[in-house]
Amino acid sequence: MSSTQQADLLLKKQLRELNRKGTEGFSAGLIDDEDLFKWEVTIFGPPDTFYEGGFFRAELHFPKEYPQKPPKMKFTSDIWHPNVHKNGDVCISILHEPGEDKFGYETASERWLPIHTVESILISVISMITDPNDESPANVDAAKEWRDDYNGVFKKHVQRCVRLSQENL
């Protein structure tokens, strides 16, 4: 069996499980029923955060080598967050290529492992939204605001994103 066929079977199984059991905090499905490698997700703004009430859309693009290689995740909704690049690309350790970090910041166990599922990825992203890593930011401006003016400018930026996400339902 080729790696593409294995990825196809695994993604079908994960989609079936998500649909069967339901999930808290997000919804996920295929962008196109004919392509298991492109998913659309909506992350519900976590309770007790500035993101609460938001509906943040994103896409997951899986490589043909999945689960040996991680998917890429990109928010298509505006989101202001230290660990999300301004273009929407998500920067979280579990989506980094497997193995040792050449800069020594992450251990191999923090990076992509083939045991991760769509559900574990999205739960990790929700956790990241709730508790950003401002020491290794993808969006330096958001990280600076998070540290220096959390209840002021940072909160206003996030509230704007929440409003926009509600308008674009």
CA atoms within 13 A on the CB side of 128: 26
Q: What is the mean pLDDT of residues 103-125?
A: 91
DSSP symbol at 152: I
Which 3 state secondary structure label does DSSP give 7?
helix
Q: Which residue has the higher pLDDT, 22 or 143?
A: 143
What residue numbers bound the domain in which 46 lies? 3-168
Work out the number of other CB atoms within 10 angstroms of the CB of residue 155: 15
CATH number assigned to the domain comprising residue 32: 3.10.110.10
Q: What is the mean pLDDT of residues 63-81?
A: 97
> Which of 46, 43, 80, 37 shows the shortest CA–CA distance to 58?
43
Of all residues in the chain, what percent carry a pLDDT higher than 70?
Answer: 99
138 — pLDDT class (breaks 50, 70, 90): very high
Overall domain count for the chain: 1
Q: What φ, ψ does residue 85 adopt, rounded to 5°? A: -60, 155
Q: What is the mean pLDDT of residues 135-150?
A: 95
The pLDDT score that the predictor gives to residue 119 is 95
- Residues contacting 157, CB < 8 A, separation 6+: 80, 142, 145
85 — pLDDT class (breaks 50, 70, 90): very high
The pLDDT score that the predictor gives to residue 169 is 77
CA–CA gap between residue 123 and residue 50 (Å, rounded): 18
The pLDDT score that the predictor gives to residue 3 is 77
Q: Per the residue annotation, which of 91, 121, 126, 138 is the catalytic one?
A: 91
**What is the pTM for the complete model shown?**
0.94
Is 161 part of the annotated catalytic residue set?
no
